[in-house]
Structure 1
Amino acid sequence: MDLPEFDRAQLRAVEVLRAGEAVVVTSPSPLTYAVVARDARAVNLLKGRPVDHPVGISVHTSAAHDQLFRYLDLPTSALAMVDFALAERIAVLAPILPDPTMPEWLAPAVQDGCVLFFDGSWGPLVYLWDSHPFLYGGSANQTGQAPAASAAEARAQFPAGTVIIDADDRRTPTAGYGARTVIRVDLDGRPTLHRAGMQDRAAGGPDTLLDRLREFRSAIAVLDPPTGTPLGKTYLSTAIVEGGEPRQLLPNTRIRLEFARTPNKNADGPRVYDVVRADVGCNSLGAASAAGELLADGTLWIPGLGGTQVGCRPPLRNQEEWLKTFLTSKPNWHVNGDELTLTSASTTITLLDRQIAEPDVPLDGIRWSVVTTITNADLRQGFHRADEAWIRFDDGRLTGWTGCNEFSGTVTRTNTELAFSDVAVTGHSCTAEAARLQAAILATLGPAVSYTIDHNRLTLLAPSGIGLDLKAMS
């Protein structure tokens, strides 16, 4: 069955973005259209600006959001205020740490020690936004012209053949359209108006909008502890004491707790959530509360836990129920350096920062076994009837096994990207499944492949959305 025209337009836009070009997308009322791309140069070329002109960056996945916030040079309460601004579709100009480990993908949005970012995701275009962890962007106008407020205005400004997603019929009619408000946040966390826009106009003026942001920051500052907080970190259990005696978890299981703060993209509810995610070898559990409430007064306030519905064997299921009962019993919490302690009645759980408990293994010198292939940036497929495939990196040299052929090549790297070249593969015949696996591996090993390491897992993702999920072999 043929897809509706609007869905076909999104698919076409994703293809263009993955090819490194820019597209014009609709924003919700009362914002004007925007130009976005995976390559900052493509945004500038379409807008008729020098290719190295600074751009904004839209961060709209939790991973990209957390990476960005890790490098912002702001106090904790100001980070919550920034999330509030993102939820209101305000753009933010904030100081960033001069850290050499900062992801290279942030560089095009950094100028004079500050980074310009926003959250451009919008429900009707969810497929387009969810297909990319971040996109560079700016208003949909060529230099010297007013931003396009409709698809017709965008077509009049940009060259024929430019991909423009027309979603005017999905917007709420309004008397006028305009650009986002941009706030600047200083090192102390104080917001000021950098550029007037639709959000401050809707609020009744810049002063009213800034007062709302300051009031939110003050309210969070009172609730957030003045000393250490687990927010933004993941912890793994190291010891459990129950009734004065050690409690042992089932073999090969460990309590994992992740704490995060994130903007609420829905119209209803608090503008910012504090989130806890938990697992102990079975389901992924989670709960969210208004920012500042989850960890208020040294207590973990979880009224209930939702999660996946994986069927587990009774020992695992019982262990999970025990953890759920503990976490919802309002345990006290305390952070001491890299250690988090939770205590309720006669039970104490001690956890250690994941980066200390399970540090990331190095990229080089490790045999990385292919666990699954990736398509569309997140769909994973295993190949159970093919021989184990693997990749190894050794100081710029690439070697590996596709499951039926050896391959080799060269690789260069930055903090977040790998560039493969001169990849050669032997020519032995493969079974049908091994051939598909080999094709996926070779298609991934191109230029500008993003990589992330989480303890012993490596993810490679090419601009096309295909990639590999790999595990370090001991």
Structure 2
Amino acid sequence: MSVMDLPEFEAALMYGVEALREGLAVVVANPSPMTYGVIARDARVVNRLKGRPADHPVGVSVHTEASHDRLFRCLDLRSDALAMVDFALAERITVLAPVRPDPAMPEWLAPAIKDGWVLFFDGSWGPTWFLWESHPFLYGSSANRTGEAPAASAAEAREQFPARSQMIIDADDRRLPATAYGPSTIIRVARDGRPTLHRSGIQDPDVLLNRLREFRSKVAVLDGSTSSPLGRTYLSVAVNEDGTPKQLLPNTRIRLGFARQPNKNEGDPRVWDIVRAHVGCNRIGTATAAGELLAGGRLSIPGLGGTAVGCKPPLRDQEELLTAFLTSNPTWQLNGDELTLTSGGTTITLLDRKIVEPDSPLDGVKWTVVTTIANADARRGYGRREEAWIRFDDGRLTGWTGGNDLTGTFTRNNTELSFTDVTVSNRPGTAETAAMETAMLATFQPTVSYTIDHNQLTLLAQSSEGLDLTTS
């Protein structure tokens, strides 16, 4: 099915994704009673459309799990204040928060930072989610020319902006009528966690601040004063039953990941605490209201859901035992990087994944392509009759596309790579190797984010195209 065959609104979203990829701005609807907003992959494009200086600070939308987690690691706030910020994001409030003086700060945050404070929001909305999720982060502001009121409808947006410089996603029929419209309220969260009004918007500031303070106090009590495993992943190093070591099946470990995230759906709870588990077969997990998962030194899991892979009996039995253990309200204790869970006579000892499986260096190893990425998260494997790979060596890029040699140069900082002079040889290939070569060349752009997780490397260009790779 081509884009032309899609319903008008869905086709507009697809064209919007392409417009963002091409470096244009998109004017997009927010849920009522908020006004329309303008978004782009480049902050300068947002400022140009609004008639502001190119280097004017803008907000950044952290609407994907990866961008949310990367930002939160940079904020100079305690866990209860971070939970309150998640509540604000769920309520579609824009947040101004302090950042740590960290040399590993991702470069994409720079346009949203001024004088040690970062401005951010979560712009993703149900009817337009595909537009947002096709890009790991986007810069944004209210849809108005400087000095004019923000557009409350697609018609008002068309009046303010020339059609050639951006695309407007008309979602008026998906918004509820409102007696008044306005941009998001902005709150400032101090380093001690106190929220104050930075800019009044459509949300009532007094009601809003009271709700945020009440939520922060509640979570602070539930979280307690001890450190927490939230935001980390742990791997088992020992299992004991009644004092006797128990061996897991070969090549399996218990993996537990903990996270705290805003609830993108309407209704309570506004913030989730999440646990994800894996022991060789299905990926299972659950979400509870913030503060309840780990309250009182116990892991409180009402039930677990997940994938439905048909495991063979040994793996299935092992998974069922883990499920029974996790739902038995075990105690937890964190001592540095070691997490201990205990229930009845069973004790599971886990270590932070970064210790058990340290990250591979970027340089000096062969990275084999596993999947290609489109729209930031649409992944596609390939047959690998001719293995594609790349290697980084002191500023020099070499590789094999499955049909041709690849060479180039690169520079890097803590979070991004910049590729130049990337070329391939000119041997004929198959349709499969040609598709892989196209995907690889599309990835090696001047600005490419990279993350390494143990032996997995992910490259993601600003165009939202990328590669998943692995090293042995």
TM-score by length of 1: 0.97
Cα distance between partner residues in 1 of 2:401 and 2:266: 48
- Structure 1 position 75, deviation (Å): 1.1
2:25 aligned residue: 22
Aligned to 1:101: 104
**Which residue does the alignment assign to 1:286?**
285
Distance 2:374 2:242 in 1: 49
Match of 2:430 in 1: 431
Q: Which amino acid in structure 2 is aligned with residue 378 of structure 1?
A: D
Aligned residue identity for 1:412: T
Q: Cα deviation per residue 1:205-249 (whole Å; 9 max; x = unaligned)? A: x23321111111111111103011111111111111112111111
**Is residue 126 of structure 2 the alignment partner of residue 127 of structure 1?**
no
Distance 2:198 2:277 in 1: 39
- Give the corresponding residue for 1:299: 298
What SS does the corresponding residue of 2:376 show, helix, strand or coil? coil
**How far, CA to CA, are the matches of 1:447 and 1:310 in structure 2?**
40
1:34 to 33, 37, 53: 37
How many equivalent residue pairs? 468
Amino acid at match of 2:377: D
Residues in 2 aligned to 1:82 and 1:102: alpha-carbon distance in whole angstroms = 19
Q: In structure 1, what is the equivalent of residue 175 of structure 2? A: 171
1:461 matched residue in structure 2: 460
Q: How many angstroms apart in 1 are the aligned matches of 2:163 and 2:210? A: 44
Contact 1:19 1:463 in 2 (8 A): no
Aligned residues of 2:135 and 2:375 also touching (Cα < 8 A): no
Letter in 1 for 2:103: P
| Worse-matched range after superposition: 143-152 or 460-469 | 460-469
Measured in 2, the distance between the counterparts of 1:56 and 1:464 equals: 19
* 1:371 maps to amino acid: V
Please give the residue correspondences for 1:155-234 in structure 2 after superposition, counting only pairs within 5 Å. 155-161=158-164, 162-200=166-204, 206-234=205-233
Instruction: Output the amino acid matched with 2:320.
Output: E
Give the equivalent residue in structure 2 for 1:90: 93
1:321 aligns with 2:320: yes
> 1:77 aligns to what SS in structure 2?
helix
The separation in 1 between residues aligned to 2:68 and 2:372, in whole angstroms, is 25
SS at match of 2:438: helix
For residue 278 of structure 1, report the CA deviation from its aligned partner.
Answer: 0.7
Structure 1 spans left out of the alignment, 5+ residues: 201-205
* Residue of structure 2 in register with 1:58 after alignment: 61
Q: Which amino acid aligns with 2:15?
A: R
- Write the distance in 1 (CA, Å) between the matches of 2:464 and 2:77: 33
Q: Deviations over 1:284-337 (max 9, x none)?
A: 111111111100100000010000111222211111111101100110000001
**Matched AA of 1:167:** A
Distance across 2 between alignment mates of 1:118 and 1:376: 21
Q: Equivalent residue for 1:258?
A: 257
- Indicate if the aligned counterparts of 2:136 and 2:464 stay in contact, CA closer than 8 A: no
Give secondary structure in 2 for the equivalent of 1:125: helix
Given that residues 76 and 98 in structure 2 are in contact (C-alpha distance below 8 angstroms), is that contact kept between their aligned partners in structure 1? yes
Deviation of the 1:27 alpha carbon? 0.6
- Whether 2:118 is the aligned partner of 1:115: answer yes
CA deviation after TM superposition for structure 1 residue 385, in Å? 4.7
| One-letter identity of the residue aligned with 1:137 | G
Are positions 1:12 and 2:15 aligned together?
yes
- Specify the SS of the correspondent of 1:136: strand
Q: Which residue of 2 aligns with 1:203?
A: none
**Higher mean C-alpha displacement, 34-43 vs 372-381:** 372-381
- CA distance in 2 between counterparts of 1:218 and 1:378 reads 36
In structure 2, what is the equivalent of residue 360 of structure 1?
Answer: 359
Is the Cα contact below 8 Å between 1:88 and 1:199 reproduced in 2?
no
SS in 2 for 1:459: strand
Q: Which 10-residue stretch deviates more, 372-381 or 108-117? A: 372-381
Contact 1:283 1:307 in 2 (8 A): yes
Contact 1:32 1:147 in 2 (8 A): yes
Map Cα deviations across residues 130-172 of structure 1 (whole Å, 9 max, x no partner): 1112111000011111111111110000012220001011000
Alpha-carbon distance between aligned partners in 2 of 1:116 and 1:385, rounded to the nearest angstrom? 43
Aligned-partner SS, 1:240: strand
Q: CA deviation at 1:435?
A: 2.3
Who is 1:411 aligned against? 410
Distance (Å, rounded) in 1 between the aligned partners of 2:375 and 2:195: 38
Mapped partners of 2:441, 2:191: distance in 1: 46
**Residue of structure 2 equivalent to 1:236:** 235
Contiguous gaps of at least 5 residues in structure 2: none
Q: Report the alpha carbon displacement of residue 464 of structure 1 after superposing the two structures with TM.
A: 2.8
What's the TM-score, normalizing by structure 2?
A: 0.97
Distance (whole Å) between structure 2 residues aligned to residue 227 and residue 383 of structure 1: 46
Q: How far apart, in 1, do the equivalents of 2:450 and 2:403 lie? A: 24
Contact between 1:274 and 1:291, CA under 8 Å: does it hold in 2? yes
Q: CA deviation at 1:417?
A: 2.0
Question: What is the SS of the residue equivalent to 1:60?
Answer: coil
The code of the aligned residue for 1:13 comes to: G
Q: What letter is aligned with 1:338?
A: D
Query: In 2, distance between residues paired with 1:132 and 1:434?
Result: 26
Cα distance in 2 between the residues matched to 1:379 and 1:367: 24
Change (3 A) 1:416 1:20: farther
| CA displacement 1:340-394 (0-9 Å, x = unmatched) | 1000011111111112221211111111011112222222222225211110001
Q: Secondary structure at the match of 2:167?
A: coil
Structure 1 range deviating more: 262-271 or 215-224: 262-271
Counterpart contact for 1:285–1:306, Cα < 8 Å: yes
**3-state SS of 2:324 partner:** helix
Given that residues 386 and 433 in structure 1 are in contact (C-alpha distance below 8 angstroms), is that contact kept between their aligned partners in structure 2?
no
Indicate the residue corresponding to 2:268 in structure 1: 269
Aligned residues with identical type, % of pairs: 70
Q: Which amino acid aligns with 2:270?
A: R
Q: Which amino acid aligns with 1:36?
A: I
Tell me, yes or no, if the aligned pair for 2:301 and 2:327 is still in contact at 8 Å.
Answer: yes
Q: Report the alpha carbon displacement of residue 182 of structure 1 after superposing the two structures with TM.
A: 0.6
Supply the AA of the counterpart residue of 1:424: T
The equivalent residue for 1:392 is 391
Corresponding residue of 1:420: 419
Rounded to whole Å, the distance in 1 between the matches of 2:125 and 2:107 is: 26
**CA separation of 1:385/1:74 partners in 2, compared to 1, >3 Å: closer, same or farther?**
closer
Q: What is the Cα-based RMSD across aligned positions, in Å?
A: 1.2
Write the distance in 1 (CA, Å) between the matches of 2:112 and 2:147.
21
